[in-house]
């Protein structure tokens, strides 16, 4: 076995340039597999991170039905979720870790001589927990603040930076929102961009009562944010919410709902489905180049068998069986493709970070993909090396010895 | 003594399209252990076909070939390979050494395929011993292109001997060599034969055949004459004679 491996390596070294050119097809193919799969897993990890930043076991109940086809004018165009819905759900749904209304307004905020236009979210005291907002300093507003429509707010990092300067703690400051003073009670820790690329830190969060009464004048919510107490109760909670809302909205069984519920899992599935398509596409291209590389190996092995007909004749004459010759050429093909595969993996390792640095693509090389790439390259050697090896093994010793 | 090679009404027919070519048309021949046989004949006389069969590279179309009491006609490809490996050694006209492979590794080649497999260490020792027999132990790490024609043929002989075969088969072993080297190679054969190794060789040179002990002449697929060599040449004497002749040429 060792002797055969040695013979194979010698045969490959003898035509080193030809061998490298032959391997190039495999190198490119395997590198493409590594990079392609790393892009897929990298994108998935990024989506998972972003989705996780939205909260844990999150359910969002939107006004309006989004599951019907056609343009619906976006969610929340006609808010129809009421204070009564919110109270009922909070009271009656079991398995809820928290629930919060969501209203929004975009207003000009002034602090000293600085001002900025920012989206204000009106929510309940549960919201910070539901959406996993952490506090850099200060603390959340209270249930009492919500009841009293208090003039308090939480401020995101970007907003704070544009009003007070980079890194300056806004807690204890007062800002002016539509000419009424609002106290900053919490400074939110950064979350970065969301899946749509929006800066999640450019935000002011206030009790929903304050926003509705003092800023927007809305009487209904565009959405409700809820958190289930665990991943296993999400579907149960969803069913309860649906049943209750159908009842409070007086929707007969033959009618469609005027609200829709999205779970975090669905959102993550949606984005990952896109990534999967991309991964499959890249995988297909990589597969094609691997097949081309395999054909290259087959081609060069056929040339090699013809060139070495005499050698095969000698080996047969001194007593090599057909399977000895078959094994020799098969191992040679496998060595070619496996060395090519190894070089391809190295190339992929080198290329993937470059892609991240220069194209901003998240990449993550999994040991699984390396393992698969390696075994695929070995398989290519066996599959594409088999025909030439068989040809060598079936040579007639007399003809082979006489071959010029 | 029981013959090691026994051909009984051996025929070999090739089919070339619709044309049947009778290469050998019925040869019966016994070769006993320890013999040194030259098979002679013009091209097309069937001597190569007969040699291929004796070498277990081919099988008779009809008739029988017994090698060491085994009927070769009944054997499959793998069994023929095993016979070649264990009982026969080949020496070719064109040396047929593997290029870019050291003399030692060339000699080791048959041992790679012996069953049961041999340990690498033992392979090397056996190959070295075989090279010593042909006087080339000091050239073990040379590549074929670093050796003269005579040396290459001696490496090939060592390769044929390394498996301790029952019969050494040589197909025009001196065809590519000059007179001096030819006689040297015949000297190697003669000393091997003196040690008891059976040798069958093809040649079309009468001078060379005269170094053997028995001469079989073939024509048109049949044996014409089969006789012992009467005034046998000895390589040592022939070399002396050759030297004297050359000296004479220089003096003249």
Decide if A264 is inside a domain: no
Domains of chain A: total: 2
CB contact under 8 A, B112 and A320: yes
Whether residues A39 and A184 share a domain: the answer is no
Q: Which pLDDT does position A73 carry in this prediction?
A: 46
Contact B52 A316 (CB under 8 A): no
Locate the chain A residue with the closest alpha carbon to B83: A319
Residues A89 and A35 in one domain: no
- For A276, A277, B19, B90, the CA distances from A280, given in Å and listed in that order, are 6, 5, 59, 57
Chain A residue nearest residue B48, CA to CA: A398
List CB contacts of B123: < 8 A, sequence separation 6 or more: B108, B111, B112
Cα separation, A183 vs A176, in Å, equals 9
User: Are B77 and A322 in contact (CB < 8 Å)?
Assistant: yes
* A220 and A311 inside one domain: no
Q: Domain check: are A110 and A252 in the same one?
A: yes
CA distance A321 to chain B (A): 5
Predicted pLDDT of residue A77: 57
**What is the pTM for the complete model shown?**
0.74
Q: What CATH number is attached to the domain comprising B89?
A: 3.40.50.300
- Average pLDDT across chain B, whole number: 92
Q: Does residue A67 sit within a domain?
A: no
Residue A350 lies in a domain: yes
Q: Is A29 among the domain residues?
A: yes
Q: Which one of B112, B117, B123, B169 would you mutate to disrupt binding with A, by most A Cβ within 10 Å of its Cβ?
A: B112
| Domain shared by A99 and A31, yes or no | no
ipTM of the assembly? 0.93
- Spell out the per-residue pLDDT of chain A, length 404, in tens: 777 788 888 888 888 898 999 899 899 989 988 888 888 888 888 888 777 777 778 888 888 776 554 444 454 457 888 888 999 998 889 888 899 999 988 889 998 888 899 999 999 999 998 888 889 999 999 999 999 999 999 999 999 999 998 888 999 999 999 888 999 999 999 888 776 778 889 999 999 999 998 888 888 898 999 998 888 888 899 899 999 998 888 888 888 888 888 888 777 787 778 778 888 888 888 888 888 889 999 999 999 999 999 999 999 999 999 999 999 999 999 999 999 999 999 999 998 888 888 877 788 888 888 898 889 899 999 999 999 999 999 999 999 998 87
CA distances from residue A18 to A15, A296, A334, A337 in whole angstroms, order as listed:
5, 11, 16, 13
- Residues of A in Cβ contact (< 8 Å) with B164: none
At B130-177, the pLDDT tens digits run 999 999 999 999 999 999 999 999 999 999 999 999 999 999 999 889
Q: What's the longest Cα–Cα distance across chain A? A: 104
Q: Are residues A44 and A109 in the same domain?
A: no
Q: Do B81 and A14 touch (CB under 8 A)?
A: no
Cα B102 to its chain centre, rounded Å, is 22
Look at residues A153, B233, B127, A74 and name the one whose alpha carbon lies nearest to residue B118.
B127
Q: Can you spell out the DSSP letters for chain B?
A: ---SEEEEEEEEEEEETTEEEEEEEEEEEEE-TT-EEEEEE-TTSSHHHHHHHHTTSS--SEEEEEETTEEGGG--HHHHHHHHHHHEEEE-TT--PPTTS-HHHHHHHHHHT-SSPPPHHHHHHHHHHHHHHTT-GGGTT--GGGS-HHHHHHHHHHHHHTT--SEEEEESTTTTS-HHHHHHHHHHHHHHHHTT-EEEEE-S-HHHHTTSSEEEEEETTEEEEEEE-SS---HHHHHHHHHHHHHHHHH-
If asked whether residues A252 and A152 sit together in one domain, one would say yes
Q: Are residues A252 and A289 in the same domain?
A: no
Q: Tell me which residue of A250, A243, A260, A268 sits closest to A68, measured CA to CA.
A: A260
Residue in chain A nearest B110 by alpha carbon: A318
CB-nearest to A319 from B52, B98, B110 is B110
**Helices and strands: H and E segment counts in chain A:** 13, 10
Gap between the Cα atoms of A283 and A24, Å rounded: 18
- The secondary structure element, H or E, covering residue A176 is strand A174-177
Q: Tokens representing A403?
A: 């071959």
Q: What is the distance in angstroms between the CA of the first residue and the CA of the last residue of chain A? A: 29
> Among A237, A257, A277, which residue terminates a domain?
A257
Cβ-proximal residues to B108 (8 Å cutoff; 6+ apart), any chain: B123, B124, B126, B127, B162
Please report residues of B whose CB lies closer than 8 A to that of A403: none
Q: Which domain holds residue A140?
A: 81-257
On whether residue A63 sits in a domain, the answer given is no
Answer whether residue A76 is part of any domain. no
In whole angstroms, what is the distance from residue B152 CA to residue B94 CA? 9
A106 plus A8 within the same structural domain? no
Residue B4 has pLDDT above 90, yes or no: yes
Q: How much is the pLDDT for B38?
A: 96
Same domain, A44 and A193: no
CA–CA separation, A95 vs A77, rounded Å?
A: 29
Residue A72 maps to a domain:
no
CA A400 to CA B57: how far, in whole Å?
11
Instruction: Provide the domain limits for residue B48.
Output: 5-251
Same domain, A219 and A275: no
Instruction: Identify the pLDDT of residue A70.
Output: 44
Number of domains in chain B: 1
Same domain for A139 and A239? yes
Q: Flag whether A75 is in a domain.
A: no
Q: Is the Cβ pair B82, A398 closer than 8 Å?
A: no
């Amino acid at each position: 076995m060792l002797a055969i491996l040695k013979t194979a390596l010698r045969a490959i070294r003898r035509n080193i340039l030809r061998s490298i050119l032959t391997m190039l097809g495999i190198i490119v193919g395997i590198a493409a597999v590594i990079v392609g799969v790393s892009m897929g897993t990298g994108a998935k990890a990024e989506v998972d991170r972003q989705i996780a930043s939205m909260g844990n076991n999150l359910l969002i109940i939107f006004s309006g039905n989004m599951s019907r086809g056609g343009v619906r004018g976006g969610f929340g165009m006609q808010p129809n979720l009421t204070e009564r819905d919110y109270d009922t759900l909070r009271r009656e749904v079991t398995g809820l870790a928290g629930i919060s209304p969501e209203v929004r307004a975009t207003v000009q905020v002034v602090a000293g001589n600085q001002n900025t236009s920012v989206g204000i979210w009106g929510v309940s005291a549960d919201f910070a927990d539901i959406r996993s907002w952490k506090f850099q300093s200060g603390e959340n507003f209270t249930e009492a603040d919500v009841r009293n429509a208090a003039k308090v707010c939480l401020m995101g990092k970007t907003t704070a930076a544009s009003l007070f300067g980079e890194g300056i703690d806004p807690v204890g400051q007062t800002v002016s929102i539509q000419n009424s003073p609002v106290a900053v009670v919490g400074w939110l820790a950064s979350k970065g961009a969301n899946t749509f690329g929006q800066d999640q830190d450019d935000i002011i969060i206030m009790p929903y009562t304050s926003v509705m009464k003092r800023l927007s004048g809305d009487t209904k919510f565009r959405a409700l944010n809820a958190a289930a107490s665990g991943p296993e109760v999400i579907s149960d909670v969803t069913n309860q919410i649906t049943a209750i809302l159908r009842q409070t909205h007086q929707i007969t069984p033959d009618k469609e709902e005027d609200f829709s519920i999205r779970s975090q899992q669905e959102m993550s599935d949606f984005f990952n489905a896109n990534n999967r398509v991309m991964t499959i596409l890249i995988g297909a291209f990589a597969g094609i180049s691997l097949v081309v590389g395999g054909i290259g190996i087959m081609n060069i092995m056929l040339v090699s068998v013809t060139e070495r007909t005499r050698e095969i004749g000698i080996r047969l004459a001194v007593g090599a069986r057909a399977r000895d010759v078959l094994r020799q050429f098969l191992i040679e093909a496998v060595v070619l493709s496996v060395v090519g595969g190894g070089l391809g993996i190295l190339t992929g390792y080198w290329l993937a970070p470059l892609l991240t640095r220069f194209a901003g693509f998240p990449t993550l090389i999994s040991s699984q993909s390396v393992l698969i790439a390696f075994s695929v390259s070995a398989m290519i050697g066996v599959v594409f090396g088999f025909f030439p090896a068989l040809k060598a093994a079936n040579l007639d010793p007399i003809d082979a010895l006489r071959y010029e | 003594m029981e013959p090691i090679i026994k051909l009984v009404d051996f025929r070999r027919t090739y089919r070339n399209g619709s044309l049947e070519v009778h290469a050998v048309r019925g040869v019966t021949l016994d070769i006993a252990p320890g013999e040194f046989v030259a098979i002679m004949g013009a091209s097309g006389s069937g001597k190569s076909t007969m040699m291929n069969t004796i070498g277990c590279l081919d099988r008779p179309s009809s008739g029988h070939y017994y090698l060491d009491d085994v009927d070769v006609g009944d054997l499959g490809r793998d069994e023929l390979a095993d016979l070649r490996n264990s009982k026969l050694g080949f020496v070719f006209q064109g040396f047929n050494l593997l290029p870019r492979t050291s003399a030692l590794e060339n000699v080791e080649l048959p041992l790679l395929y012996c069953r049961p497999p041999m340990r690498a260490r033992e392979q090397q020792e056996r190959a070295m011993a075989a090279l010593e027999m042909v006087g080339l132990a000091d050239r073990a790490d040379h590549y074929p292109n670093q050796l003269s024609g005579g040396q290459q043929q001696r490496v090939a002989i060592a390769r044929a001997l390394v498996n301790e075969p029952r019969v050494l088969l040589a197909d025009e072993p001196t065809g590519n060599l000059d007179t001096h080297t030819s006689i040297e190679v015949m000297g190697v054969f003669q000393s091997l034969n003196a040690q008891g190794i059976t040798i069958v060789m093809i040649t079309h040179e009468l001078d060379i055949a005269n170094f053997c002990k028995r001469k079989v002449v073939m024509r048109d697929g049949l044996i014409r004459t089969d006789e012992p060599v009467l005034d046998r040449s000895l390589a040592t004497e022939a070399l002396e004679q050759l030297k004297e002749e050359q000296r004479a040429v220089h003096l003249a």
